[in-house]
Structure 1
């Protein structure tokens, strides 16, 4: 998939809506070789998905050993909207709290009257965090209106061809 193909998928209205969300599922290969999927907050910068975590999180060690990752951002309504992303991640240890972490936990997640206390608690807990950045190298949007999972698309083609 070319960067232009990825950009075209990410510019679709449904993709932009999903990228404005708060929670994704990050998939990676653990150090023992088995797959892992974890929910994680994220921020879309317009070119990359940024996630933040503690320096001692198991995913940090795993992603340092194998930076290949996949991300799913979806809805629970029917029909669901699903954005699938793949790429390699960049890990950066940051002193204090990354700006992206504060931005992804905005007033829609932390009530304005609780923001100061929440931020003080976060700053007391994390002396450092790891910024995980994924620039999508592959993207697929499934909205069940204009796009379908590839296996379903194949079944539709077979049916329409009379096979």
Structure 2
């Protein structure tokens, strides 16, 4: 296993990437599919200090892919000007059925970030953590950004 990536807040590129990881609402998660082709889907996520946390329904392609190969990319959009590339390459850890136990830990932050979207979907926080019960923790090992 490689060493987790450590952001340097004094580095302009790192600081901008951290700011975006804390504020962006959607990222793309990339996994290796069973057929060998890349699989990428948009996800909601929280940045918790040194890792991204994604809630997922348990029987999705991304979960199956990560069960077979924990290597993952987390990719943000390129920013309003198209010039702010932020990609994290890392390793994912799956915690099946852990969503409800994470609710007390991250529920307030998650609801604050995604309240409007959850209201539009008619998905209260408790149901969100029950339905999206697999927790994916992504620990970055490399930052690709400018």
Q: TM exceeds 0.5?
A: yes
How many residues align? The count is 137
Q: 2:115 aligns with which of 86, 106, 110?
A: 110
1:139 corresponds to: 143
Q: Indicate how the Cα distance of structure 1 residues 33 and 9 shifts in structure 2: closer, same or farther if over 3 A, else same.
A: farther
TM-score (ref. length: structure 1): 0.69
Look up the match of 2:19.
Answer: 17
Aligned to 1:8: 8
Task: Return the alpha-carbon distance in structure 2 between the equivalents of residues 23 and 75 of structure 1.
Answer: 12
Judging changes above 3 Å, is the alpha-carbon distance between structure 1 residues 85 and 62 closer, same or farther for their aligned structure 2 residues? same
Q: Give the alignment partner of residue 51 of structure 2, picking from 44, 48, 52.
A: 48
Task: Give the distance between the partners of 2:53 and 2:94, measured in 1 at CA.
Answer: 10
User: Any unmatched runs of 5+ in structure 1?
Assistant: 143-163
Distance 1:31 1:51 in 2: 21
Give the aligned partner of residue 67 of structure 2: 64
Structure 2: gaps (5+ residues): none
Residues 34 and 9 of structure 1: is their aligned pair in 2 closer, same or farther, counting only changes over 3 Å? farther
Question: Structure 2-normalised TM-score?
Answer: 0.76
Larger Rg: 1
Using the TM superposition, give the Cα deviation of residue 101 of structure 1 relative to its aligned residue in structure 2, in angstroms.
Answer: 6.8
